[in-house]
């Protein structure tokens, strides 16, 4: 059995950035403001050591003019604040 840590929230943003996803300046700025910027390098190491054990979001909910819009990670364009995991990720994580 492969055990996994499923990441959400700011932790997911740290791991997404560590995995090479351009999460945008607003989200990097939030990570930095919280004092978590050094955690991105730590997350890179964890992803390298445990690639099958860290479950990353496959989609996220963004805030666009106070409206929730969902975007797949593979199509994410930087610029909007990430506010939550998306529905596809919720379904995926709930199955685990």
Q: What is the pLDDT along the chain (96 residues), one digit of tens a residue?
A: 668 999 999 999 999 999 999 999 999 999 999 999 999 999 999 999 999 999 999 999 999 999 999 999 999 988 899 999 999 999 999 998
Q: What angle do CA 42, 48, 49 make, to 5 degrees?
A: 90
Token pair, residue 24, equals 């945008």
For residue 32, CA distances in Å to 27, 28, 35, 47 come to: 9, 6, 5, 20
Q: What is the pLDDT of residue 85?
A: 96
Q: Would you give the distance in Å from CA 75 to the centre of its chain?
A: 13
Cα–Cα distance, 68 to 55 (Å, whole number) = 23
Q: What is the pLDDT of residue 51?
A: 93
Neighbours of 72 (CB within 10 A): 13
Q: What is the pLDDT of residue 3?
A: 86
| pTM, entire model | 0.92
Q: What is the pLDDT of residue 1?
A: 61
Q: What is the pLDDT of residue 79?
A: 87
């Amino acid at each position: 059995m492969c055990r996994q840590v499923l990441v959400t929230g700011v932790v997911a943003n740290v791991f997404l950035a560590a995995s090479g996803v351009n999460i945008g300046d607003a989200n990097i700025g939030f990570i930095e403001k919280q004092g978590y910027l050094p955690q991105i390098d730590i997350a890179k190491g964890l992803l390298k050591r445990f690639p099958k054990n860290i479950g990353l979001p496959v989609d996220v909910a963004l805030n666009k003019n106070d409206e929730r819009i969902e975007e797949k990670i593979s199509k994410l364009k930087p610029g909007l604040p990430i506010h939550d995991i998306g529905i596809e990720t919720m379904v995926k994580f709930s199955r685990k």
